[in-house]
Amino acid sequence: MVSLAAVSASPALTVSGLGKSYGDVRAVDDLSFHVEPGEVFALLGPNGAGKSTTVEILEGHRSRDAGTVEVLGHDPGTAPGGFRDRIGIVLQEVGVERELTVREALVHYGACYSRRRPVDEVLELVGLDGLGDRRTHRLSGGQKRRIDLALGIIGDPDLLFLDEPTTGFDPSARRQAWEMVDGLRSLGTTIVLTSHYMDEVQALADRVLVIANGRAVAAGTPDELRGSMDRETAIRARFPMDREGTVTGLLEGLAGRSTVRDGRLDVRTEDPTADLHRLTGWALERGVALDDLEVVRPTLEDVYLDLVGGEPGEGTDG
Amino acid sequence: MADRLPSPLRLLVHQIGYQNRVFRRVPIAAFFTLAFPLMFLLLFAAIFGDVGISGGHEVAAAQFYAPGLAVFTAASATYTNIGISTAVARDEGILRRVRSTPLPRWVYLGGVVGSGVCIAVFGVALMLTVGIGIYGVDADAGRLLPAVVAFVVGTASFAMLGLALAALAPSGQSSPALAQATILPMAFVSDVFISVGDDPARWLEVVGDVLPLKAFVESFFAAFDPYRTGSAWEPELLVRMGLWGVFGAVVAARRFRWEPSTGSSSGPRGDRSRRHQGRSVPS
- How close is the nearest chain A Cα to the Cα of B181, in Å? 27
> Which residues have C-beta within 8 Å of that of residue A19, sequence separation ≥ 6?
A26, A28, A29, A30, A31, A64, A65, A66, A67
B97 in contact with chain A, both atoms CB, cutoff 8 A: yes
ipTM of the complex in this document: 0.84
Of A91, A141, A196, Cβ closest to residue B100: A91
* Residue among A46, A50, A168 minimizing CB distance to B278: A168
Are B68 and B218 contacting, i.e. CB atoms less than 8 angstroms apart?
Answer: no
pLDDT one-digit tens code per residue, A62-118: 999 999 999 999 999 888 777 889 999 998 888 999 999 999 999 999 999 999 999
Task: Taking residues A286-290, report their average pLDDT.
Answer: 81
* Residue A314 confidence (pLDDT) above 80: no
pTM assigned to the model: 0.82
Q: What is the DSSP letter of B61?
A: T
Residue type, A244: E
Provide the pLDDT for residue B277: 34
B14 close to A (CB below 8 A):
yes
**Residues A93, B104: C-beta atoms closer than 8 Å:** no
Which residue, B65, B222, B67, is CA-closest to B146?
A: B222
C-alpha separations of A112 from A62, A267, B149, B202 in Å: 22, 56, 33, 53
Taking CA atoms, B207 is separated from A42, B70, B212, B227, in Å, by: 60, 21, 10, 24
Q: For A223, what's the count of Cα atoms within 13 Å in the CB-facing half-sphere?
A: 1
Asked if B103 and A46 come within 8 Å (Cβ–Cβ), the reply is no
CA dist B273 and A197 (Å) reads 21
The model's pLDDT over A27-73, given as tens digits with 9 standing for 90+, comes to 999 999 999 999 999 999 888 889 989 999 999 889 999 999 999 99
pLDDT at site B104: 92
Q: Which of A48, A82, A95 sits opposite B272 (nearest CB)?
A: A95
Minimal Cβ distance to B275: which of A100, A113, A145: A145
Per-residue pLDDT band for A245 (boundaries 50, 70, 90) equals low
Q: Which residues 30-49 of chain A have a CB within 8 Å of chain B?
A: 45-49
Full DSSP string of A139-176 = S-HHHHHHHHHHHHHTT--SEEEEESTTTT--HHHHHH
Is the CB of residue A193 less than 8 Å from the CB of residue A165? yes
Give ∠ CA B206-B227-B77 in degrees, rounded to 5.
Answer: 60
Mutate to test the interface with B, among A94, A107, A153, A163 (most CBs of B within 10 A): A94
Task: Answer yes or no: is pLDDT of A256 > 90.
Answer: no
- Asked if A173 reaches chain B (Cβ–Cβ under 8 Å), the answer is no
* Cross-chain Cβ contact B22/A194 below 8 Å: no
Residue-level pLDDT at B170: 94
CA–CA–CA angle B201, B207, B213 (5° rounding): 125
Cα–Cα distances in Å, from B74 out to A109, B24, B157? 29, 16, 11
State whether the Cα torsion B29-B34-B37-B40 is positive or negative: negative
Give the model's pLDDT for residue A224.
83
Is A110's Cβ below 8 Å from some Cβ in B? no
Q: For chain A, what is the total number of helices (H) and then of strands (E)? A: 11, 13
pLDDT at A2 > cutoff 70: no
Instruction: Compute the distance between CA of residue B146 and CA of residue A152 in angstroms, rounded to an integer.
Output: 48
Query: How far apart are the CA of A171 and the nearest CA of chain B, in angstroms?
Result: 13
Q: What pLDDT does B116 receive?
A: 97
Q: Is A189's Cβ below 8 Å from some Cβ in B? A: no
pLDDT digits (tens, 9 = 90+) for A156-214: 999 999 998 887 778 888 888 898 888 888 888 999 999 988 889 988 999 999 998 89
pLDDT at position A248: 67
> Quick check: A89 contacting B, CB < 8 Å?
yes
| H helix or E strand, kind and range, residue B39 | helix B36-48
Specify burial of residue B192 (Cβ count, 10 A radius: 0-12, 13-18, 19+). buried
3-class SS of residue A25: strand
CB contact B262 to A (< 8 Å):
no
In angstroms, rounded to a whole number, what is the distance separating the alpha carbons of residues B74 and B122? 9
Q: What is the DSSP letter of A227?
A: H
**Cα-based distances in Å from A242 to A122, A279, B258:** 63, 17, 56
pLDDT at A10: 80
Q: Which long-range contacts (CB under 8 A, 24 or more apart) does B51-55 make?
A: B53/B226, B53/B227, B54/B227
- Is A3 within 8 Å of A182 (Cβ atoms)? no
Q: Which residues of chain B have pLDDT under 50?
A: 1-2, 263-283
Nearest 10 degrees: Cα torsion B147, B128, B34, A107:
-70
Q: CB atoms < 10 A from the CB of B228, how many?
A: 13
- pLDDT higher for B75 or A264? B75
How many angstroms separate the CA of residue B34 from the nearest CA in chain A? 19
Residue among A48, A96, A317 whose CB faces B283 most closely: A48
Residues in A closer than 8 angstroms to B89, CB to CB, are 95, 97
Q: What is the rounded average pLDDT for all residues in chain A? A: 85
